[in-house]
Amino acid sequence: LKSLSTALHDRGMYLMVDVVVNHMAGTSDPPNFSSFQPFSSQSDFHAECFVSNYDNQTEVEQCWLGDKNVPLVDVNTEDADIVKTMNTWISTLVSNYNVDGVRIDTVKHVRKDFWPDFAKSAGVFTIGEVLHNETDYVSAYTR
């Protein structure tokens, strides 16, 4: 990836990566937590519940996406050690691969106050995907 990034820059192009902070994909329910890295303990994730009410922000942020066939296990981004790991990870990723921008998936599924430090740790342009049809709801993520 680093050589690709260098080649792109030499041609006046930029490299943007797509990242997911919210969850990890399980292959079974219950998932094999020990197969996930760097978070390999059940306590690194929110308790299992699948989002059923997208108007309930707590449920949106702390329940799982997916289903029992392919559970998207929700990372506990309220845990300070997990936050530190995520911020270090994005900083290292951007630095190691000379990344110019970061596109963040499923932003609304992580608490809003997580994102400013994550974006600052990236140190490059960041943009997040917030799938919702209400401007008032989406605009809160621009801060």
Residues carrying an active site annotation? 105, 129
CB contact at 8 A, 65 and 109: yes
Task: Measure the CA–CA gap between 87 and 82, rounded to whole angstroms.
Answer: 9
Give Cα 29 distance to the centre of its chain: 21
Q: At what angle do helices 2-10 and 80-97 cross, to 10 degrees?
A: 50
